[in-house]
Amino acid sequence: MFMSIIISIGIGLIGIIVITRLLGKKQLAQVTPLDFVYVLVLGGIVEQGLYNTDIQWFHMVFTFVLWGFVIYVLETLTQKYDGFRWFIKGANTVLMQDGQVYHHNLKKNKLELEQLRMLLRTQGIFSFRDVEYATLETSGTLSVLEKAGAAPASMNDDPGAPVRNEPSFLLVENGAMHLSNLQASGWDAPRLKEELHHLGYQLTDLYFAEWTSQDGFFVQTKQQK
């Protein structure tokens, strides 16, 4: 009993190492959903070998060889054929271009505006107005090209006192106000409606309205993308 467990663990470890080598050298951020499927199946194989007494060591070896062959074939096909790569691993999706949010692509990828803002913040970008281009990679990471001049100046660039950066607030999304953000930013609903009307916008026509105390409003209507 104990010897079979030791053998199963040894075979499982060797199998995982070999198949991991087949996947190539990837950082965690480069792992695609399909790679997670590979790993989940490997875990299932090891689990069955440990807890199912009807499965012998040679069954595990055969399963690892078969699954490794399947992975090798899939990875080879995805490298050679673009159409197959798109079918298996998907394609990159443009979320922002020329400073405009592609809300249809955002919706297709089950993302909300606030989630996009969170992904941008992980890149050190705190406002939509600073983004020229943003694409969602197949790994789920966001690649961003900032607008020219969007990066903050260093101390060496400005001999004077540095300007304090202020956070941005998403006040409107899909024609509705974010009440919590209104309160945090110091706005209220009547004043926001009045200001938007002064700028020539109706609340229901807006896809989003972002505001900072430094730069004011950055607005995109539903018709813009």
Q: Domains plus CATH for the chain?
A: 2-88 (no CATH), 93-146 (3.30.240.20), 169-221 (3.30.240.20)
Window from 65-69, 84-88, 175-179 with minimum mean pLDDT = 84-88
Nearest to 206 by CA among 165, 172, 168: 172
Q: Please give the Cα distance from 58 to 212 (Å, whole number).
A: 64
Report which DSSP code applies to 23. T
The one-letter code for the residue type at 60 is: M
Q: How far is CA 44 from CA 41, 75, 95, 128, in A?
A: 5, 21, 36, 43
Specify the higher pLDDT residue, 128 or 40.
128
- pTM of the complete model beyond 0.75: no
Tokens of residue 113, six digits: 């505006």
Mean pLDDT of 134-163: 70
Q: Is the dihedral of CA 15, 17, 18, 22 positive or negative?
A: positive
